[in-house]
Structures are given as structure tokens and as C-alpha cells.
Amino acid sequence: MGRSPCCEKAHTNKGAWTKEEDDRLISYIKAHGEGCWRSLPKSAGLLRCGKSCRLRWINYLRPDLKRGNFTEEEDELIIKLHSLLGNKWSLIAGRLPGRTDNEIKNYWNTHIRRKLLNRGIDPTTHRPLNEPPQEQPPPPPPPLSATTNTISFSTIKEEKQEMSITNTCKTMFICKEERNPVEERCPDLNLELRISPPCQQIRGVCFVCRLGLQNSKDCSCNNIIMGSGIGTSTANSNSGCDFLGIKSGVLDYRSLEMK
């Protein structure tokens, strides 16, 4: 039953990779291809965990990697993608050829985060720091045709991820605008997903409270009552209110479009 253990940790090297280890890994993968990470170390004569080999290959040894500084265009793309996807580094990396999730994650934490803070933007929410509470609900989003951004999800893996987002949405009462069911089967579809807090933030009670989590940090109706929240919550608006601590603006997937 099951499989044998991933690796014998007692007999594996840890820490920085040597040139010799790199060469062994590269030549083995060139000869046999990627995959079978579990058996790769033994076959390649490496005293490494398969997991470690995979990481080393994906992040540093792959021939298609683009090394060097990020361009301004890449910076802006990362920021935009992060505002849409959050810390989904692998998805973001999928949109930046030659860049890895680990590289982007490190770059985000060391450069972009600071860059956004200098701009007065919260790197987590992508909203202005110290944003004053809004008296009025945010204006309704402009017509879709005017706002749709195009993000191409080109790999099967990413499509799978998209599906998981959709499935998650369903379990979280997230509304999906099924404007054209045919598009769902098309790889070039515009998902037109809209993630909203449960439409029923009824009578000023947020979804978190409805789950019995009153006074939770995720409670947004406190914000309404106290008038001191991030300020976008309204009892009768679907747009712009917090949902489990995540801005619906951030979760507005209507702008994701499959290519």
C-alpha cells in the first residue's frame, strides 16, 4: 500500500548546491527529462532529496530562465497580477516568461513591496495607505467592455487553477455571471467571474457574523457599525466591501480573460 518514503533524510545533503551537483542534475535531466523527482537523485547519483532537486532545477538550472534584473514593465505586470491574484506566485510567474515563482516572490518581498509603500500604496490590498473611510459606496463598476483586462492563462496547469478558483467561488457563495455558457468550454474564454461577498450582507450583518464569528478580525459589519472600517463596506452594496478580510475589488475576477 502507498509508496515508499520520499527520501532517506539521513543520507541527503542540505544547503547550497555545488557546481558538481548542478552538472549532475543538468546532465541527468537533459538525458531523461523532468519528472520522477523521487527516483531522480538516486538515478543521477545525487545525495539530495527529490524535492530539493526539483526546486534547484525549476528555480536555477532550467535553460529557459531569464536571469538578471526585472524590467519596469515586469514590475508593473507583477503589481497588476498581484492585485488580481494575491500571493499566487506560480500563477504570476506563469505570466512572466523566464521568471520563477520563487524569484518573483523574493523580488516582491524585497523590492516591489517597498516600492508600493513609497507610493503610498498598501502592498497587500493595493489600496492607498491610510485610506479614509468612504462616506458613499463606491461607484458601480464601469461597463465590462470598458474595464476588462486581459490575462492569458496558457497552460493546462493554470486552467486547472482557474477551475479551482471557480469551485472555491461556488462554495463561498460567489456569484458567477454565466453570460455565455459556450465560453466555458472554450480555451479563449472570458470567464467574467465576479467574486462578491455573499450578496446577503443582510440587515448589516456580514457573512463572518452569520458564521458565528462575531468580533472576528474578519468581521466587516463592525466597520459599518463603528464607521471605522476600511470604509468600503455597505450593507446594501455588493461592490467594494470586505469579505473575510479580502477586498472584493481584489477578488473581482471579472477581468480575468482566458486566451
Determine the Cα–Cα distance for residues 242 and 217; give it in Å rounded to an integer: 11
Position 91 contacts DNA (CB under 7 A): yes
Site string for DNA, 127-166 (x = CB under 7 A): ------------------------------x------x--
Position 38 contacts DNA (CB under 7 A): yes
Closest to DNA by CB, 77 or 235: 77
Stretch that binds DNA, among 36-44, 144-152, 181-189, 226-234 (CB under 7 A): 36-44
Stretch that binds DNA, among 35-43, 189-197, 217-225, 238-246 (CB under 7 A): 35-43
Determine the Cα–Cα distance for residues 108 and 111; give it in Å rounded to an integer: 6
Interacting positions 69-88 with DNA (CB under 7 A): 87-88
Amino acid identity, residue 39? S
User: Residues 123, 117: contact at Cβ < 8 Å?
Assistant: yes
- Which has the closest alpha carbon to 191: 219, 165, 156, 214? 165
From 64, 72, 110, 226, residue interacting with DNA (rule: CB under 7 A): 110
Cα-based distances in Å from 40 to 34, 36, 225: 9, 6, 58
Site string for DNA, 160-199 (x = CB under 7 A): ----x-----------------------------------
SS3 content of the chain, % helix, strand, coil (to 5): 45, 5, 55
Q: State in angstroms the smallest separation of the CB of 42 from DNA.
A: 11
Stretch that binds DNA, among 3-11, 24-32, 189-197, 205-213 (CB under 7 A): 3-11
**231, 234, 238, 244 alpha-carbon torsion, rounded to 10°:** 60
Position 4 contacts DNA (CB under 7 A): yes
Stretch that binds DNA, among 12-20, 125-133, 173-181, 200-208 (CB under 7 A): 12-20
Closest to DNA by CB, 41 or 229: 41
User: Residues 99, 73: contact at Cβ < 8 Å?
Assistant: no
Beta-carbon contacts of residue 224 (< 8 Å; ≥ 6 apart): 204, 233, 234, 235
Beta-carbon contacts of residue 107 (< 8 Å; ≥ 6 apart): 70, 78
Stretch that binds DNA, among 55-63, 140-148, 171-179, 192-200 (CB under 7 A): 55-63
Position 60 contacts DNA (CB under 7 A): yes
Amino acid identity, residue 105? K
Angle at 178 between CA 153 and CA 144, to 5 degrees: 70
- Which residues make up the interface to DNA (CB under 7 A)? 1-6, 13-17, 35-38, 50-52, 54-56, 59-60, 87-91, 101-103, 105-107, 109-111, 114, 157, 164
